[in-house]
Chains A and B, each alone.
Chain A
C-alpha cells in the first residue's frame, strides 16, 4: 500500500519528512475537535447498524400482517358459484336427500293426491299372481 522509501527521490523524502512534521505540529484544539468528530462518526455507524437490525426484528410482525391481509382479500373476493361441489358424508347426504324430496314439486303432488286403494289393489294383484304360480 505505502511506497517504499528507496523508490523516492531526495525531494520526495524531504517533503515527506516536512509534511509529517507539520502533522505533528497540529495543535491540541484541532486534535480535540477531530477526536470529537471521530466519535460522532462512530456513533453514526452504530446507529445505522441498529436501524438495520430493528428493520429485521419488525419483519415477522410485518409478515403476519401481510398474510392476514392476503387471507382477508382472498375471502372477500371468493365467488360462491365458482367453488367446486364438496363431497358429503353419510348423515349430511341423507339430510341433503330429504331436502331434495321436500323441494321436488312432483313428490309434493303425489303426497297431496294420495290414493290408498291403488296401492291395496297393486298389493293384491301381486299376491294373487304368486298363488296361481304355485
Chain B
C-alpha cells in the first residue's frame, strides 16, 4: 500500500538517527562508538542521581536527556577522559534549573485548583514487564535497604547528596567530583564526610 509507505515505525527512531551519522570516516566512527559507550555507561546512574535530586521520574529523564544532548553537541570533540566530570556538571546545572523552575511553578500552582497527577496515566506493558530479580527473601532485604537508603538520601542537603552519589555510585575521585560539582576538593571532602555521618546516624553501620 503506497499510502502506508510514509508511516514511520515507532521503533525506527534509533536506526534512522544512526543513519544520520557518517560511518565512512573511521575517526568519526571511533568517536561515535566511544561516545555511545560512555553514555551507555553513565545513563542509568545519572538517572538515579537526577531522580534522587528531583524526586520525579519524568523530570529526571528530561534532565539526563538534556545533559546527553549538551555533552554531544558541545563537548564530544573533547578527550573522552574529560567527559564524565563535564557530563555530571551539565546534569547538575539542569537539575538546578529544574528545581528553580519547579519552585516558581509551585508558587503559581498554589493559586490554582488541584488536579490528580496520574489522571491520564495509561497502562504501559514495558514498564510492567518482569525483570530478573533475586530470590524472594533476599529481594525483601534489598527492597528494605533500597527504600531506607533512598529515603535517607532524599533527606540529605543537595550538595551532600550530590557528593555522596558521585563518589559512591559513580565512583568519581575527589578531583573529578570537584570538577563535576564546580567547587574545591576541600568542599567535596566536607560534603561527603557530613553525608556519611548523617547516613550512619540514620541507617547504622550494618543496615544491609
Contact B61 A42 (CB under 8 A): no
CA A25 to CA B134, docked complex, whole Å: 11
**B137: interface (CB < 8 Å):** no
CA A35 to CA B31, docked complex, whole Å: 18
Residues of A within 8 Å of B54, CB to CB, are none
Residues of B within 8 Å of A23, CB to CB, are 44-45, 48, 169
**A14: interface (CB < 8 Å):** yes
A10 nearest in chain B by CB position: B205
Taken residue by residue from 117 to 148, chain B's Cβ proximity to chain A (1 for < 8 Å, 0 otherwise) reads as: 00000001011010100000000001001100
Task: Report the interface size for chain A: residues with CB under 8 A from the other chain.
Answer: 43
A32 nearest in chain B by CB position: B126
Residues of A within 8 Å of B173, CB to CB, are 1-3
Give the Cβ gap from A33 to chain B, nearest Cβ, in Å.
Answer: 5
Contact B57 A30 (CB under 8 A): yes
Would you list which residues of chain B between 137 and 193 have a CB under 8 Å from chain A? 142, 145-146, 149-150, 164-165, 167-169, 171-173, 176
Residues of A within 8 Å of B65, CB to CB, are 33-34, 37, 40-41
Contact A26 B44 (CB under 8 A): yes
Contact A28 B126 (CB under 8 A): yes
Contact A18 B145 (CB under 8 A): yes
> What are 21 A-B interface contacts by the 8 Å CB criterion?
A1-B171, A2-B171, A2-B172, A9-B196, A11-B199, A16-B168, A20-B169, A21-B142, A27-B129, A29-B127, A31-B44, A34-B43, A37-B68, A39-B14, A39-B18, A41-B71, A41-B72, A42-B21, A43-B20, A45-B76, A50-B22
Interface residues of B (CB under 8 A from A): 13-14, 17-18, 20-22, 28, 31-32, 35-36, 39-40, 43-45, 47-48, 57, 61, 64-65, 68-69, 71-73, 76, 124, 126-127, 129, 131, 142, 145-146, 149-150, 164-165, 167-169, 171-173, 176, 196, 199-200, 203, 205-208
